[in-house]
Amino acid sequence: MKIETITICGGGNAAHAILPIIRNNFSGKINLFLPYGNEATHFKKIIDEKRFLTATIGEKEIYGRPDKVSKFAKDVCKEADLILMPLPAFAHEQTLLQIVPFLKEETIIGAIPARSGFEYAALKILKDNKKEKVKIFGMQTLPWACRIKEYASKVDILGKKRSVRIAAFPYKITTELATFLTQLLDLKIEPLPNMLTLSLANVGQIIHPGIMYGLFKGKEEVKYRREEIPLFYQGVTKEISETLKVMSDEILRLTKRIKTLNHDVDLEHVMGLKDWLLYSYEDSIIDKKTLQTCFNTNSAYQGLRAPVKKENDYFLPNFQARYLTEDIPFGLVVTKAIAQIAKVDMPIIDEVILTTSKWIGKEYIKGGSLEGKDIRDARIPQNYNINNLEEIIIY
Ligand code: NAD
């Protein structure tokens, strides 16, 4: 695997974090593709003044700057051997459409994190543009919790996962890519056998909508004073943890059904939610007894509050937060769509989708199936003409 130029897409929290991390572990060229709004101009101006983007990780500081920044894909994607998309899932398709004309045949493109159904959209765009030799991968989660402190200047890396998994298409590049990324990102990256695992094992789809549902169902209009804003993870009650457990069990039931229908598909890494928390946060969870205590006593989750928006002197739940706008159409609805193909019922996931999609002003499910008016916006296999399990399990 010869990687001499890496292009990072986007200028959000994750892109800010990844740039100095890569710079510290890679001696080739790093480009930054910033097509969104006036980000490219803004970023260039600040980085020219400050010279470096500084990432703070605990006591340590690391530095980095891109070699080239552009609003235009043709300036920064033509020579890229590896393109990283540390972006919200709703930006994947737009970004891919902009970069696809300029991709070299051997380029590898990765979504960090993939969320669900990334392969359906990416492979269709590559095929439509006759770039089928381009390879793709997705990461199961973002390896860090990170927040921009000052745009193009300072980012805080607050927590780092012990290990993160990736899946790639074609499968044969996965192990070599995982080895390369382990060195590049300074973190253990483990290979997965297929991209379907990424969709089913996308834990954000359970945790984010599930906790939002638990915290705010029936309390949509409640106004909170600043100190009353519910803690997100520490606010997981026994009842909320039971909802999360049932959602996780429904996905495990779907996984089992797919394995029954096709014995060769390897879905061993689709874990129950508690097992995943223990795998990802072994060292930061104090009380490992129950699913609820795994949330409540995880130091990586301490103090994080539910998303809210300010209204006069009060705060209301923010239903336009990514916990719903990303994790419903690029998460739970995709899983529901795969379940519909496999003929598996998911009553609690249906209920969470129905309630939370109303909150975000969308309709995905109608009359029990995926026929709501906004279903075209969700990254479900059916929207890419994939209507049977055989096609879903080949990626
Ligand atoms: P972010 O909101 O900071 O990203 C915003 C950036 O995305 C923008 O600055 C822009 O560059 C780009 N963007 C947004 N809309 C776009 C569009 N329509 N077209 C093109 N570009 C667009 O997001 P983030 O915090 O960096 O998160 C990236 C991904 O990582 C998300 O999937 C998120 O859920 C996940 N994640 C983030 C964290 C974290 O701590 N930040 C933790 C876990 C997972």
Q: What is the pLDDT of residues 120-163, one digit of tens each?
A: 999 999 999 999 999 999 999 999 989 999 999 999 998 788 88
* Residue 379 dihedral angles phi and psi, to the nearest 5°: -90, 55
Is the pLDDT at 84 greater than 80, yes or no?
yes
What mean pLDDT is reported for the chain?
A: 96
Percent of the residues in the chain that have a pLDDT greater than 70, as a whole number: 100
Nearest alpha carbon, ligand 1 atom 40: 145
- Going by alpha carbons, the residue nearest to atom 2 of ligand 1 is 12
Closest atom of ligand 1 to 327 CA is: 34
Is the confidence at residue 281, as pLDDT, over 90? no
Ligand 1 binding pocket mutation candidate from 16, 36, 112 (most atoms within 8 A of CB) = 36
Are the C-beta atoms of 364 and 374 separated by less than 8 Å? yes
What DSSP character marks residue 230?
Answer: P
String of DSSP letters for 338-381? HHHHHT---HHHHHHHHHHHHHTT----BTTBS-STTGGGS--G
Closest residue CA from atom 8 of ligand 1:
12
Report the percent of the chain where pLDDT is more than 90.
95
Pair 12, 97: CB distance under 8 Å:
no
Tell me how far the alpha carbon of residue 88 lies from the centroid of ligand 1, in angstroms. 4
Mean predicted confidence (pLDDT) in 214-224: 96
Residue 260: pLDDT band (50, 70, 90) is very high
- For residue 236, pLDDT beyond 90: yes
pLDDT at position 280: 84
Distance 86 CA to ligand 1 centre (A): 7
Q: Give the position, in ligand 1's atom list, of the atom nearest the Cα of 13.
A: 26
At 299-354, the pLDDT tens digits run 888 899 999 999 999 999 999 999 999 999 999 999 999 999 999 999 999 999 99
Cα separation, 166 vs 274, in Å, equals 20
Bridge partners of 9, per DSSP, are 33
- Ligand 1 — pocket residues by CB below 6 A? 10-14, 35-36, 39, 86-89, 91, 94-95, 113, 142, 145-146, 322, 326
Q: Ligand 1 centroid vs 288 CA: distance in angstroms? A: 30
Q: What is the pLDDT of residue 115?
A: 97
> What gap in Å lies between CA 355 and CA 321, rounded to an integer?
15
What's the CA gap between 117 and 89, in Å, rounded?
10
Question: How far, in Å, from the CA of 321 to the mean position of ligand 1?
Answer: 12
Residue among 87, 115, 332 to mutate when testing ligand 1 (max atoms within 8 A of CB): 87
19 CA from centroid of ligand 1 (Å): 14
Kindly give the number of the ligand 1 atom that is closest to the alpha carbon of 148: 3
- Separation of CA 118 and ligand 1 centre (Å): 15
Alpha-carbon distances, residue 250 vs 8, 200, 201, 212, 246 (angstroms) = 36, 11, 12, 18, 6
Candidate from 8, 13, 76, 155 with most ligand 1 atoms within 8 A of CB, to mutate: 13
pLDDT at 83 over 80: yes
Nearest-CA residue for ligand 1 atom 35 is 142
Residue nearest to atom 6 of ligand 1 (CA): 12
Containing 36, the helix (H) or strand (E) segment is none
Q: Residue 264 and residue 283: Cα distance in Å, rounded?
A: 34
**172 neighbors 295 (Cβ within 8 angstroms):** no
54: β partners? 63, 154
Q: What is the pLDDT of residues 13-67, one digit of tens each?
A: 999 999 999 999 999 999 999 999 999 999 999 999 999 999 999 899 999 999 9
Cis peptide before 381 (omega within 30 of 0): no
**Closest protein CA for atom 9 of ligand 1:** 12
Predicted local confidence at residue 228, as pLDDT: 96
How far, in Å, is the centroid of ligand 1 from the Cα of 42? 17
Q: How confident is the model at residue 222 (pLDDT cuts 50, 70, 90)?
A: very high
Angle (CA) 21-25-30 rounded to 5° is 75
Task: Report the nearest-CA residue for atom 18 of ligand 1.
Answer: 91
Using the mean position of ligand 1's atoms as its centre, give its distance from the Cα of residue 44 in Å. Answer: 19
Ligand 1 center from residue 15 Cα (angstroms): 8
Average pLDDT for residues 165-178, to the nearest whole number? Answer: 97
Is residue 342 a contact partner of residue 260, using CB atoms and an 8 Å limit?
no
CB contact at 8 A, 299 and 286: yes
Ligand 1: nearest atom to the Cα of 145:
40
